[in-house]
């Protein structure tokens, strides 16, 4: 049985739907900004339970604009976790600020008990990353932030629809930043992202910042960026958002199949806690002999992935920050053990059982 | 009669073959840095005449990324035109560098003679803006830049296929920056941009910078950005590129017609058209002392005239901190009062062109 890690191809019926959506846009000739973008912003704000949303060019840009607006600049510090995708750190660096890493918990999310020690006078923002569709412990984080008068930007790129204590991702912090990259649960046909907020003033400012800082066609209020969601991608997302809940449900079902058939003696993962609602953007488990397992599965035609094998603080680009091996023990340990198993909504039960059988077999063979 | 400014619905009214290509893409799922993008980059570099091209998210990023790649950092000074669109300056300030403005001449581009006295120790790049389909006097600028050893990044966002003595915009500097925004001569269905260069090292750096600095899936070599041209848009670009030359030729033909007719109206001044320049008329701009009234009159007659741009960048609120004041750039200021843009695109018909001329004539009668 051949199991790809992801399957982004669209089938004929949905392709025809898409083409008619695009033709509609073409007729109006409105490609940059436009009706579909406005509709998407309303829909996604409603979905996330926030007052406002702004559609942008990427999840990376959502983080950049949020930090920029909160005044993050040269010399400031932003606290985040070192096991994320590189984008959450590079946005901090590009603003001239310093990323300050805090190690993670067993569930790969930032450890709130270690945040306070990392706070200095220069700390402007805490940026928790909801890795793999599981949310950070936002109540504790918000409390720490409030106590220290620091803003919170949620990197929710992987966590649309995830909940913690019954509250949705993107609705806890000052901003929630999301990606709609093709690999995400709510995915466009190219780079796209969006940001949520409850603050009207922030909302207005982000809108302008994403469009050259322009107030109208001729007046530039502040220096800005070009980060607009394509109208055509917005149209596509408006079509896809209707299926988002069922996509999440299917991924959650897939997780249950895994948890039933994987032999926990060899495979470590944390079940959903009672106060969580996980959306399984990825399904990351921790194992011994990770690389061998990965090769074994590949021979069985099962594609897997690793998110991420080199922690950010050990990347060549981070050298200047002066971190070294051993600085974040949990992250570093995990980076050797983590492997991401396919969990996308197009998989069927038989395929997942096949994956589980092969993993269990691998460890039996040892 | 109506003469609209945007021709987008017309341009893509018959493109069945493009729809087929898009269906193939959607079926394949190859959306990020996909095969059609590589093809587009190859074709584009061939069209312009450089060794490499790199597709990015916007024309703005097409300026920003080369600046970043050559090491521009906070405190550096970058010389550019005082009359450009905000994006040129946005790209500079985003990197923390300081824009140093130079007035334009009667070609709407930077007056190269005014540059030398603005050069300081901090000057790290010159960004000439090839405005409205014109070109900056590149032979002169290249000489100056060589003398001081300052790299040039051409803002060619509005000037695809413009040339001087047959040498295209985007081939003179270390990099050329192009926009593929829906309103540009070569346009995709969204924000998009592309960078041309002959420099292999720069090319490699740009490839890293646009994709998070990743050398492979797991290793981050430099701190990068997320600025990729969507593969989807590259499919649109690939469809459009074979028409590139005919698009600019048709625009030139329309502009020549308007030039000829407008030069018969004494209240309209047709800008200087240097003989050895190929101007591609992304914008068709003429001067009028009675600009505001003429502009209103044209709108009332169904002609969607425009003004590019009524407030010069150096007087915008966002750039107050640079401490320029009114009168610092006399030619730019003069232009702002007199310029008016008329539709000139490849989808206009003769009747519409004549209607523009007759409307302007009737206004001055």
Q: Is the pLDDT of residue B84 over 90?
A: no
Question: pLDDT (tens digit, 9 = 90+) per residue, B221-263?
Answer: 999 999 999 999 999 999 999 999 999 999 999 999 999 999 9
Residue B9's pLDDT band (boundaries 50, 70, 90)? confident
Whether B9 sits inside 8 A of A25 (CB atoms) is: no
Same domain, B81 and B160: yes
Same domain, B76 and B222: yes
- The pLDDT, as a whole number, for residue B208 is 97
Give the tokens for residue A51.
């007052």
In a shared domain, residues B228 and B277:
no
For residue A100, what pLDDT is reported?
Answer: 98
| A132-164 burial code (b ≥16 CB/10 A, e <16) | bbbbbbbeebbebbeeeebbbbbbbbbbbbbbb
Instruction: Tell me if B332 is assigned to some domain.
Output: yes
Does the CA dihedral A170-A229-B60-B340 come out positive or negative?
Answer: negative
Q: Which of B32, B60, B89 sits opposite A226 (nearest CB)?
A: B60
A134-166 confidence digits (pLDDT tens):
999 999 999 999 999 999 999 999 999 999 999
Say how many Å lie between the first and final Cα of chain B, rounded: 19
Q: What is the CATH number of the domain that holds B252?
A: 3.90.1150.10
Determine what percent of chain B is predicted with pLDDT higher than 70. 100
End-to-end CA, chain A? 23
The answer on B116 and B159 residing in a single domain is yes
For residues B216 and B310, membership in a common domain is answered with no
Does B159 lie in the same domain as B30? yes
* Boundaries of domain holding B34: 14-242
Percent of chain A with pLDDT over 90: 88
Mean pLDDT for A272-280 is: 97
At A13, is the pLDDT very low, low, confident or very high (cuts 50, 70, 90)? confident
Mean pLDDT of chain A: 95
Are residues B237 and B251 part of one domain?
Answer: no
* Chain A from 322 to 361: CB within 8 A of any B CB: none
Kindly state whether residue B100 falls inside one of the protein's structural domains.
yes
User: Does any CB of chain B come closer than 8 Å to the CB of residue A162?
Assistant: no
Decide if B43 is inside a domain. yes
- End of a domain among B242, B262, B280? B242
* Predicted confidence (pLDDT) per residue in B316-349, tens digit: 888 889 999 889 999 999 999 999 999 999 999 9
pTM exceeding the 0.90 threshold for the entire prediction: yes
How far B139 CA sits from the closest chain A CA (Å)? Answer: 31
| Chain B positions in Cβ-Cβ contact with residue A9 (cut-off 8 Å) | 26-29
The rounded distance, in Å, linking the Cα atoms of B362 and A154 is 60
Q: Helix B291-300 and helix B350-364: axis angle, to 10°? A: 130
Q: Is the pLDDT of residue A28 over 90?
A: no
pLDDT at B6: 86
Query: CA-to-CA distance for B217 and B33, rounded, in angstroms?
Result: 13
Tell me, yes or no, whether B4 lies in a domain.
no
Model confidence at A27: pLDDT above 90: no
Query: Is pLDDT larger for residue A1 or for residue B126?
Result: B126
* Residue A11: pLDDT over 80: no
Instruction: For residue B137, tell me if it sits in a domain.
Output: yes
Residue B110 pLDDT > 80, yes or no? yes
Q: Both B60 and B127 in a single domain?
A: yes
Q: Which of B25-29, B178-182, B192-196 has the lowest mean pLDDT?
A: B25-29
- Residue A231: its chain B contacts at CB < 8 A? 190
Is the same domain home to B216 and B255?
no
Count of C-beta atoms within a 10 Å radius of residue A195: 32
Contact B61 A308 (CB under 8 A): no
Between CA B313 and CA B332 the distance in angstroms is 10
Q: Which of B162, B96, B105, B153 is nearest to B132 (CA)?
A: B162
Domain boundaries, chain A: 12-242, 243-365
The CATH number that applies at residue B53 is 3.40.640.10
pLDDT of A59 > 80? The answer is yes
Flag if A220 and B317 touch (Cβ within 8 Å).
Answer: yes
CATH level 3 topology of A243-365: 3.90.1150
Residues B205, B65 within the same domain: yes
Distance from CA of A77 to the nearest CA of B (A): 17
> Would you give the DSSP letter of residue A108?
S
Mutation pick from B86, B229, B305, B324 vs chain A, by most beta carbons of A within 10 Å, is B86
Counting the structural domains of chain B, the total is 2
A1 shares contact with chain B (CB less than 8 Å): no
Q: How many CB atoms lie within 10 A of CB A267?
A: 20
At residue B364, the pLDDT reads 95
Enter the tokens of residue B354.
């004549």
Inside any domain, residue B7: no
- A96-139 tens-digit pLDDT: 999 999 999 999 999 999 999 999 999 999 999 999 999 999 99
- Indicate whether B59 and B107 sit together in one domain: yes
Domain boundary among B242, B276, B309: B242
Boundary (domain end) residue, out of B204, B224, B242? B242
Residue A20: pLDDT above 80?
yes
Q: Which CATH class is domain A12-242?
A: alpha beta
Cross-chain CB nearest to A32 (options B11, B181, B225): B181
Percent of the residues in chain B that have a pLDDT greater than 90, as a whole number: 89
For residue B76, being part of any structural domain is answered with: yes
What average pLDDT does range B138-149 have in this prediction? 98
Global ipTM: 0.86
Looking at the fold, whether B123 and B95 belong to one and the same domain comes out as yes
């Amino acid at each position: 049985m051949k199991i790809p890690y992801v399957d982004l191809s669209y089938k004929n019926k949905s392709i025809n739907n898409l083409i008619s959506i695009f033709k509609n846009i073409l007729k109006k000739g409105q490609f940059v900004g436009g009706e579909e973008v406005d509709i998407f912003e309303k829909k996604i704000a409603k979905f996330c339970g926030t007052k406002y949303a702004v559609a942008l060019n990427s999840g990376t840009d959502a983080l950049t604009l949020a930090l920029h607006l909160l005044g993050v600049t040269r010399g400031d510090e932003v606290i985040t976790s070192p096991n994320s995708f590189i984008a959450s750190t590079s946005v901090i660096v590009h603003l001239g600020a310093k990323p300050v890493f805090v190690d993670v918990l067993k569930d790969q999310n930032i450890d709130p008990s270690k945040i306070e020690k990392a706070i200095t006078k220069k700390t402007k923002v805490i940026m928790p990353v909801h890795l793999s569709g599981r949310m950070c412990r936002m109540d504790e984080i918000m409390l720490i932030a409030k106590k220290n008068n620091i803003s919170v930007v949620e990197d929710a790129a992987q966590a649309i629809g995830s909940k913690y204590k019954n509250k949705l991702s993107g609705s806890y912090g000052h901003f929630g930043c999301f990606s709609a990259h093709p690999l995400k649960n709510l995915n466009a046909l190219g780079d796209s992202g969006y940001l949520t907020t409850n603050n009207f003033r922030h909302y207005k400012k982000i809108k302008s910042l994403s469009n050259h800082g322009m107030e109208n066609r001729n007046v530039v209020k502040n220096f800005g960026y070009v980060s607009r969601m394509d109208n055509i991608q917005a149209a596509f997302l408006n079509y896809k958002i209707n299926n988002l809940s069922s996509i999440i449900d299917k991924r959650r079902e897939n997780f249950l199949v895994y948890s039933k058939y994987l032999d926990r003696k060899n495979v470590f993962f944390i079940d959903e806690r009672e106060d969580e609602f996980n959306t399984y953007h990825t399904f990351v488990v921790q194992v011994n002999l990770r690389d061998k397992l990965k090769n074994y599965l590949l021979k069985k035609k099962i594609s897997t992935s690793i998110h991420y094998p080199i922690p950010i603080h050990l990347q060549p680009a981070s050298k200047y920050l002066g971190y070294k091996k051993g600085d974040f023990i949990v992250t570093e340990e995990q980076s050797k053990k983590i492997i991401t198993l396919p969990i996308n909504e197009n998989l069927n039960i038989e395929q997942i059982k096949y994956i589980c059988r092969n993993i269990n077999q691998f460890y039996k063979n040892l | 009669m109506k003469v609209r400014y945007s021709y987008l619905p017309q341009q893509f009214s018959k493109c069945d073959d493009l729809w087929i290509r898009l269906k193939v893409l959607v079926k394949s799922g190859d959306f990020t840095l996909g095969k059609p993008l590589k093809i587009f980059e190859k074709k584009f570099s061939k069209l312009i005449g450089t060794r490499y091209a790199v597709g990015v998210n916007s024309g703005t990023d097409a300026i920003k990324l080369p600046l970043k790649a050559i090491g521009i950092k906070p405190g550096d000074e970058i010389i550019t035109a005082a009359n450009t669109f905000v994006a040129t300056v946005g790209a500079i300030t985003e990197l923390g560098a300081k824009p140093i403005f130079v007035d334009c001449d009667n070609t709407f581009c930077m007056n190269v003679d005014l540059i030398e006295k603005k050069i300081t120790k901090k000057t790290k790049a010159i960004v000439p803006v090839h405005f409205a389909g014109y070109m900056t006097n590149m032979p002169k600028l290249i000489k100056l830049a060589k003398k001081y050893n300052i790299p040039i990044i051409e803002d060619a966002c509005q000037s695809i296929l413009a040339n001087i003595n047959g040498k295209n915009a985007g081939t003179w500097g270390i990099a050329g920056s192009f926009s593929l925004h829906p309103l540009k001569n070569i346009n995709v269905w969204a924000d998009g941009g592309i960078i041309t260069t002959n420099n292999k090292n720069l090319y490699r750096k740009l490839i890293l910078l646009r994709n998070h600095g990743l050398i492979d899936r797991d290793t981050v070599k430099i701190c990068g950005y997320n600025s990729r041209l969507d593969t989807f848009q590259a499919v649109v670009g690939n469809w459009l590129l074979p028409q590139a030359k005919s698009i600019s030729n048709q625009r030139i033909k329309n502009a020549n017609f308007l030039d000829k007719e407008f030069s018969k109206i004494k209240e309209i001044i047709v800008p200087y058209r240097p003989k050895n320049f190929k101007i591609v008329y992304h914008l068709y701009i003429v001067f009028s002392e009675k600009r505001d009234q003429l502009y209103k009159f044209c709108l009332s007659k169904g002609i969607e005239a425009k003004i590019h741009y009524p407030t010069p960048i150096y007087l915008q609120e966002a750039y107050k901190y640079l401490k320029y004041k009114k009168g610092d750039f006399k030619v730019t200021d003069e232009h702002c009062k007199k310029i008016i843009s008329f539709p000139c695109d490849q989808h206009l018909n003769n009747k519409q062109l004549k209607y523009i001329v007759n409307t302007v004539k009737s206004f001055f009668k």
